[in-house]
Structure formats: structure tokens, C-alpha cells
Amino acid sequence: MIVITALMVAMVLLSTAIFVIEAEKDVPTVGVDTSNVLLAYQQATRETLISGLSNVTNGGNPGVLTADLNELESVIVSKSYQSILEMSFTPLNELPYQNGILISWGTTGQGISSASITLGVNSSGTSLTSNLSSEVNITSEVDLVGSYLQLASNLTQVNLNVNVLNEGGPALAQNLAFFFDNATEGWAEVYSPTICDFGNGTYTASFTTETSQWAGPFLVSVRCEDQRGILIVANATCTNGQ
């Protein structure tokens, strides 16, 4: 009697197992790797900051950054089918940042264009819950150092050294334009300077001008657009190189 009962229980167990295995074969699978997905969100946020910073430094409205981030959030959340997703973007509001943006185009030879936010992602799936909180920072920097040489009584040669940095590392420039403080016209663009690109984010530029064009101290400026389209300006006073 007991053997018969055990046999029946065994059959029920086996048939249940076979049913479950067969049923799972028909379920369409969608690949998920949470860590990679979160990295992708981080990357998309970086791209959004670059786009926003590029827009703002080229004269756009600073509010564009928030609008872009909201747009990104709505797209990502609407495409999250496998988990309930909550995203938050908190712009850095500690000085010198304001609403996540810092534009410091100083007169001491250093220019910085930066955007910084804290990205928060909370993903709740059927079997896994993931949280991510990370700072996403985009910083483009240009450093300018200049010196001048009096070639003749009315002729001055200016030598400039420019370093371009992205997130603290060497980066290439897309466009470089140089200006000097003209006595009569204010900032005047230097046409056809001799630029040497060292390929590692370092550039040298030299040009000659008539000394009489200068208004007192030798003030120079560089307007740099990096490969990401972010504009950075730095102003410096040239030192006497003799």
C-alpha cells in the first residue's frame, strides 16, 4: 500500500518537474545584466552633460541642462520593461557650481567649463534590486601661459603655451583662436598664428604684432573648443621673455 502511494507521489513529482521545464522553454527571454545597464545609464548621463555644457558655453540657456536630463529620464524610464526604475538627477549646487554648472573663464591663465550632477538610480526587478548613486562630472579646462619678446623697437613676438584637459587628462582641441588686447579696438583676433600641436593636449602658438598696438600689459586670450564641442576661454598676462 505504502509502495503504491509512494509511486503515485513520485509520478506527481516527475510530471510537475517535466511540466515546469517544458513551460520555461516557451518563455521568450530578454537579456539583462544590471551592472551593464547601470553603466549605460551613467554613460548616457555623461553624454547629456556634455551636450548641455556645449550648449551653455556657446551661449545657450543654462536651463537646457535640466531639460535635457528630464528628457533622458523619461526615455529611460519608459523603456524599462524588466524593472521598476526610479532615476534622479541632482545638480551640484555648492560653490563655485550653480545649478550643476561652472563656467570660470578667469584672467589668471586658467579657464574651466564644467557640469556636475549626482545620478541616482533605483531599479526594482522581480528577482533583483539595484541602487546606484554616483557623481557624474564633465570638466573641460584650458591653461594658458604667455611671454613676449621685443624684437625691434616697434615689433613684439608673443609666444603662448596652451594645455587642454578633459576631466583632468590631456585632450585635443577642435578649434583654437587667439586674441590680444588691442589699444584701440579692445580684444582683437590674431590672424594666422603659428600653432604647433604636440598631439598630447599641448599646443604652442606664436605671433608678432606692432608694439604700439598693445594697451599697457600684454593681455592675451585663448578661445578653445575641445573635441566635445565645449567652449573654454582663458585670459593671461604675458611675461617678459627677455
User: Could you list the residues that contact other proteins (CB under 8 A)?
Assistant: 1-3, 5-7, 9-10, 13-14, 17, 20-21, 24-25, 29-33, 36-37, 39-41, 43-44, 47-48, 50-52, 54-55, 58, 60, 64, 68, 71-72, 75-76, 79, 228-229
Query: Kind of pairing, strands 129-152 and 155-166?
Result: antiparallel
Q: Name which of 29 and 192 has its Cβ closer to other proteins.
A: 29
Q: Least Å distance between CB 221 and other proteins?
A: 22
Q: Cell 584701440, residue?
A: 184
Which residue type is seen at 129?
T
> CB of 23: closest distance to other proteins in angstroms?
11
- Residue 7 or 152 with smaller CB distance to other proteins: 7
Cα–Cα distance, 157 to 215 (Å, whole number): 15
Judged by beta carbon, residue 200 or residue 212, the one nearer other proteins is: 200
CA distance 209 to 193: 11
Q: In this structure, how many other beta carbons lie within 10 angstroms of the beta carbon of residue 182?
A: 15
| Nearer residue to other proteins within complex by CB, 64 or 177 | 64
Closest by CA position to 208, among listed 166, 149, 144: 149
Smaller CB distance to other proteins: residue 231 or 234?
231
CB of 89 to other proteins, least distance (A): 13
* Minimum CB distance to other proteins smaller for 176 or for 231: 231
Shortest distance in whole angstroms from residue 186 CB to other proteins: 27
> Exposed, middle or buried by CB within 10 Å (0-12, 13-18, 19+), for 160?
buried
Q: Which of 211, 215, 208 is nearest to 154 (CA)?
A: 211
Closest CA to 176 of 158, 192, 156: 192
- Within the chain, where are the H helices? 2-25, 34-57, 64-78
Residue 96: is the preceding peptide bond cis (ω within 30°)? yes
Residue closer to other proteins by CB (options 92, 138) is: 138
- Asked if residues 174 and 194 have their Cβ atoms less than 8 Å apart, the reply is no
